[in-house]
Amino acid sequence: MGWLDRLKGKSDAPAPAVVLYSAFADGSLIVPAIVAGADGIVHKGVPALELFEAIRQVARGHSALPPASAALLDAAALALEPEDLPILGLLMDHTPLTEIMATLAIERVELNRRVHRMLQALRSKAVPRHAAQETSAA
């Protein structure tokens, strides 16, 4: 079973810690990254010390994700199906997948299907530039 399957919760093995390292790591990536299960986001332009610190934080079990602004959350909520909003809220609170399944009384397969659908919707709907800039400036 590959790393992508572990990230998507298709394995009983613990998911690996994930830090997104991208030239496109701005505010618009925060919500999709959290929904996908990332633990951190680092822009490729940061000094090596900042990258190292983000990796250390994530390796210690902490988040290296910036907070999502209200504008980003509002934009994400508008892109999603109403039935997926509770999942978004729980994921944004970093609730473990097992707790989400128990809270919403859904099976792993259904949660995976809905998370996939959420990621597709977030990809297809552009996040307003001003919402991404608000978070990047914070």
Q: pLDDT (tens digit, 9 = 90+) per residue, 11-33?
A: 566 677 899 888 887 788 899 99
Residue 27 neighbours by CB under 8 Å, 6+ apart: 66, 68, 69, 72, 127, 131, 132, 133, 134, 135, 136
Note the pLDDT of residue 10.
54
Beta strands in the chain (DSSP E): 19-22, 40-43
Note the pLDDT of residue 27.
80
pLDDT digits over 60-112, tens only? 999 999 889 999 999 999 999 999 999 999 999 999 999 999 999 999 999 99
Long-range contacts of 30-33 (CB under 8 A, 24+ apart): 30/65, 30/66, 30/68, 30/72, 30/135, 31/68, 31/72, 31/73, 31/75, 31/76, 31/88, 31/92, 31/122, 31/127, 32/119, 32/122, 32/123, 33/65
Give which of 78, 104, 80, 79 is closest to 90, Cα–Cα. 104
Q: Which of 40-44, 85-89, 123-127, 134-138 has the lowest mean pLDDT?
A: 134-138
Indicate the pTM of the whole model.
0.77
